[in-house]
Chains A and B, each alone.
Chain A
Amino acid sequence: GESVGLHLPTLSVQEGDNSIINCAYSNSASDYFIWYKQESGKGPQFIIDIRSNMDKRQGQRVTVLLNKTVKHLSLQIAATQPGDSAVYFCAERYMNRDDKIIFGKGTRLHILP
């Protein structure tokens, strides 16, 4: 299930199930979107990206979906493993802000044994 903590919402998923992490972005002019994984005490790790002219992109065990109509991004992780436990951030590149990468709020993924 999904719950909202003090700052970061948490998604709890059974090991082996698929995880779906959602993100709403703010700028309709953004042309590029990225998902990052951040483990405790470490910097963000690039997972997968998608450009605004696409609505779906697949990687190894991960799929990103983009719905520009409602400004929504999702990350699907297949067959979730204990090593997937982390905080996941979506990020967008603002075309009118010197191509800076702006991070969304983040979701903590908790894997249940």
Chain B
Amino acid sequence: GAVVSQHPSWVICKSGTSVKIECRSLDFQATTMFWYRQFPKQSLMLMATSNEGSKATYEQGVEKDKFLINHASLTLSTLTVTSAHPEDSSFYICSQNEQFFGPGTRLTVL
């Protein structure tokens, strides 16, 4: 069975709104989790590393004020895309470690 879940699996929102994506580790207490973004026909790009109880570490070029990450417990990390715009439309994927990835969340911003 799945060890990492994401919710929602897809979301459509209007430009300017904020969207929260949840990533849950189902059978493992994860002190770190990883967030990736994938545009169509492209590879996964690491956005940030979520750290339980402390600030996330963002990759170069990723706006921390736009992509808010919260890792409040050992089983839940959330990514909030604030003031979403059409260019933020993408497939967002979290992972617990190198072995287990979530099923992804398809975000479409109109």
A positions within 8 Å CB-CB of B: 5-8, 32, 34, 36, 41-46, 49, 89, 91, 93, 98, 100-106
CB distance from B5 to the nearest CB of A (A): 10
Q: Which residues of B contact A44 (CB under 8 A)?
A: 44, 93, 101
Q: Are B41 and A43 in contact (CB under 8 A)?
A: no
B positions within 8 Å CB-CB of A: 4, 6, 34, 36, 40-46, 49, 57, 93, 95, 98-104, 106
Q: Are B98 and A91 in contact (CB under 8 A)?
A: yes
Q: Report the bound CA distance from A46 to B40 in whole Å.
A: 20
Given contacts A42-B104, A43-B103, A45-B101, contact A101 B46 (CB under 8 A): yes
Q: Are A41 and B41 in contact (CB under 8 A)?
A: no
Q: Are B49 and A105 in contact (CB under 8 A)?
A: no
CB distance from B95 to the nearest CB of A (A): 8
